[in-house]
Structure 1
């Protein structure tokens, strides 16, 4: 391949693989990671490939997973252990090049253009084998001239796959794929594309760029470029370290002297931040609360989340905890909520934890009920309510 040589290293069924590496009895068995395993509650976070073969995939409720596979082994998540294993993975990758960009706990890009002695495939095979031998963790690696094609390639063969994607092979290997297989296109966007008779990546390539832009904005132009395998983003080790945020603040109509007074405004801002996170296709790894007192002193407090999220209720909950820890009892004139340390949704699977699985299950059940009712009685017969901003007049 001429030009750059980019690897996308993606660990296979990471949480389940870590558990199997620590307990060899689990190897080759149908295994699910889920909260509150003893009570059959919660949602499957991830599953081994043996469990996936039985139809068990996130975010399946645990009781349903048990019905699909009677001999399913269930383990509760150990997030500190997963973070430690992630650190070891990236330490190994950095041995090959300084240009490593982590994009989530279990995947990252490598620019190995100037570090290949022999063939790119041989280097990928060595990395894959070392991850397996030294850490006990299987991976898939995509090799391509840019990040988009490398990510696409790594998804093509799992587990333990190594796939090369060359630009000259795009028409043959990329265009027949469903549009939803394009990195950055989710289920809802794929449904919107289908309404315009655009079903495959090849269909995207056949559109006029202006039409896609008129339908999907900047994202439409990006789809068109990706359909031809164009992506000039560099592998940037500093990108994962950059402070990235989405926030919203509001000056109160009157100074507030209690949580009860400020809570409606916090709720409105949590909804706003959540909506913007979803529009940008990112999760927040932390929440920051801003309080400006009537005396014009401003304080900011932040906390990391146990799992990246974009959920308004969880954002509000965290902001209220920060308020209780930070507010000194004096009148407040402005409050703000900011989602920090953002993670692209297309590059990072949402990580659930023991403290969120019940809420996740509740949300899943609500969404399923809405889908069922709308299907039975007509589209959009029932919708989630929107929060109206507090009157500031």
Structure 2
């Protein structure tokens, strides 16, 4: 099998890249190791920067998003039993964010790709990317019990942090920066309308809490828990009681309770893989970087990688110039490190530190009070949250 761009991984990064390439006439093939049903069930992020929404529209994949997506004009910070609204449009010149589950984005992109192309192969497990420093990289993959090869002019690894694409980078040419956080998130889905109009980030002495949503009828909530926590250690009543305690404010506000339909525990980690290109193999999304979910950057970083890649392949196809592709790693990493810094700052500011003392506690409060009292500080948070511009 031959193609121009071989894409390893059928998550949002790989699928969006395929759609954008298809619309400018660049041939590609997507290899996804799991079944369609599995891919469409994976629960992931749901907060989209404005640039991510624009990229989905450019791919022709925003019909349901524009109808069902929930546009948010800010977030709420809670601490010391007080509520503080951060007004994104007022601070950023009109920029907003949109709640639309990654699961739904994947469904939309798969439906488009199966109806109109390019080729998308499910249950095609990539084994290795070979000869990335040649003019014809080869992706070996297993499908229906037989090993096959995909010969391409370029290969793009969108196969996540446990994928095989980045294994093709020479060890001597790679550096990986990692930071593990001393806590995790217990996340729950509940069949209950959200108790808020916008996301609530709550700092509490007992630990961080986040109130989000998936739709007007489904709430998504998170609690900071110790590493090693098991979801079954948290019965439903314990979850709701702890959320009540951490979201508590002086004033009229009530946390709605309802049936919890799913629970999971997510460890918190930052990781950046440098460089993001070796020869004709390029990495995008979680294959190259991971951030804690506090800053809502994981999916959005993947999309920004894809937007740069799509611009590079479009330029190459139209003019024969690889100028953008040659700068891809440097361009993407500029945004990656800023998002990593923002996610780190948000995480450190809002989470109770297991090894912290009274000084750490006061420093967190000082940062929060600065943001809620200073338009300049609030604007910096809003600019990062709604998405920094692409370095193109």
Place the TM-score, normalised by the shorter chain, in its bin. Answer: under 0.3
* TM-score between the two structures when normalised by the length of structure 1: 0.24
Structure with greater proportional strand content: 2
Q: Which has the higher contact order (CA 8 A, sep 6+)?
A: 2
* TM-score between the two structures when normalised by the length of structure 2: 0.24
